[in-house]
Amino acid sequence: MTTGSSRKPRTDALHNRRRVLDSARTIFAERGIEASMTAIARRAGVGVATLYRHFPTKSELLAEVSCGQVAECVSVIDDALADPDPWRGFTTVIEKICVMQATDRGLSAIFLEVLPDPALFEAERIRAENGFAELARRAKEAGRLRPDFVRDDLTLVMMANRGITAATEARTMAACRRLSTYLIQAFEARPGRSPLPPVPRLGPHPDLPTGH
Amino acid sequence: MTTGSSRKPRTDALHNRRRVLDSARTIFAERGIEASMTAIARRAGVGVATLYRHFPTKSELLAEVSCGQVAECVSVIDDALADPDPWRGFTTVIEKICVMQATDRGLSAIFLEVLPDPALFEAERIRAENGFAELARRAKEAGRLRPDFVRDDLTLVMMANRGITAATEARTMAACRRLSTYLIQAFEARPGRSPLPPVPRLGPHPDLPTGH
């Protein structure tokens, strides 16, 4: 039945939904996307039945969490595109994504694995990737980014960064910062750089039409 | 009973032991150290009872496989120490270890995780780490390696490299080559390099006395 009241969820239902999403994000971040619905309900302080009323499948819940994470990436990239210094914009994105990824294991999955129901955040993911490609184009045009940097190098960065795990979150974060600093210094255009071996097609997503 | 014949294993027993070790190395490489003893026996073409006669626990088998892998690393490092060009020696080790690691998931575990019975290959592992430290010292002395490169940066390289996985082994290998090329270029001493954020203590092994 589609009545007025069923379209306008009550405040506590919205509140529960918010708590479930927060809990899911935390749990996916800590344990990866294999985490169970029961664990998510427990953390949110709601019953499993309530959880399934809001999200009938884990895929739907995962997709909604992913939407939020991709939106954050898009926002980081939009800020960088607004930076008048294209190299600073480019490097800020690499640094911020490495830090986000260090605290959120779920973020790697969005870009590096095939998730269920990717259609829900596909448009935003492509927007993020195209935004990054534009940043790279501008940084090359400004002569700051090496010309042989390609789009798949961002995937390489994210794959390398997900391998970093230390005994504490603070150490992991510090190690990710050091790795991204090294990589950014390697990406910088410099005369006399040795050529790079080719990067193969990485990640689960097909090539985009624009650029490398 | 300790008789003369029990101390001199028969040829087919030695042959079986060799097959078990080869199989274990392949299976640990493909699936990581969580692989089961049953899978190892099956691949070796021996019964599970035979496998356990040679290696009463998985820890013992894993330790013996690890000994062989660490010995290979030591051999790579010894070759590099014999190279009259310290920078070429240093970079060759990084390249070779990244390639070895790309084809052998077990190798990461030796250096990045706490394995059961590490005492069996501890001396060799320390020899490898000290040999690498000596390579780094010489490459710095020659003015080719940046002075702020530290021993834990090799752990950082291995952690980053283990994050790289592509659809095929050939692609994984190519991506690891590209990553190690980027990192080597970042390690090279150059005037005007920005400072690096500090690297935290990484990996499970305590600091060695011989410093960076």
Contacts of B187 in chain A (CB under 8 A): 182
What's the per-residue H, E or C state across A57-117?
CHHHHHHHHHHHHHHHHHHHHHHHHCCCCHHHHHHHHHHHHHHHHHHCHHHHHHHHCCCCC
CB nearest to B163's CB, from A162, A171, A201: A162
Best residue in B182, B196, B199 to probe A by mutation, most A CBs within 10 Å? B182
Taking the Cβ of residue A150 and every Cβ of chain B, the question of whether any pair is shorter than 8 Å is answered with no
What ipTM score was computed for the predicted complex, to two decimals? 0.83
Q: Is the pLDDT of residue B89 over 60?
A: yes
CB B111 within 8 A of CB B35: no
- State pTM to two decimals: 0.84
CB A107 within 8 A of CB A115: no
In degrees, rounded to 5, the angle at the alpha carbon of residue A188 between the alpha carbons of residues A185 and A191 is: 115
Q: What is the mean pLDDT of residues B112-128?
A: 79
In degrees, rounded to 5, the angle at the alpha carbon of residue B33 between the alpha carbons of residues B27 and B36 is: 65
Residue B143, CA atoms < 13 Å, CB-side half-sphere? 2
Please report the pLDDT score of residue A206 as a whole number. Answer: 61
CB B97 within 8 A of CB B50: no
Taking the Cβ of residue B171 and every Cβ of chain A, the question of whether any pair is shorter than 8 Å is answered with yes
CB nearest to A166's CB, from B177, B182, B200: B200
Place of tokens 């013996």: B64
Q: Residue B70 is which amino acid?
A: V
Please report the pLDDT score of residue B49 as a whole number. Answer: 93
Is A160 close to B160, i.e. CB distance below 8 A? yes
Please report the pLDDT score of residue A7 as a whole number. Answer: 52
Please report the pLDDT score of residue A80 as a whole number. Answer: 97
Please report the pLDDT score of residue B191 as a whole number. Answer: 85
Interatomic CA distance for residues A1 and B110, integer angstroms? 61
Q: How far apart are the first and last CA of chain A?
A: 50
Interatomic CA distance for residues B100 and A172, integer angstroms? 24
**pLDDT over 90 for what percent of chain B?**
50
In chain A, which residues have pLDDT < 50? Answer: 1-5, 208-212
Closest Cα in chain A, distance from residue B175 (Å): 6
Taking the Cβ of residue A183 and every Cβ of chain B, the question of whether any pair is shorter than 8 Å is answered with yes
CB nearest to B186's CB, from A186, A197, A201: A186
Interatomic CA distance for residues A4 and A22, integer angstroms? 28
Contacts of B190 in chain A (CB under 8 A): 190
Q: pLDDT tens digits, residue range B33-77?
A: 888 999 999 999 999 999 999 999 988 898 888 888 888 999 999
CB B154 within 8 A of CB B135: no
φ, ψ of residue A118 to 5 degrees: the values are: -65, -20
CB nearest to A200's CB, from B159, B175, B201: B175
Taken in order A109, A110, A112, A115, the sign of the CA dihedral is positive
Please report the pLDDT score of residue A135 as a whole number. Answer: 97
Task: Enumerate the β-bridge partners of residue B188.
Answer: B145
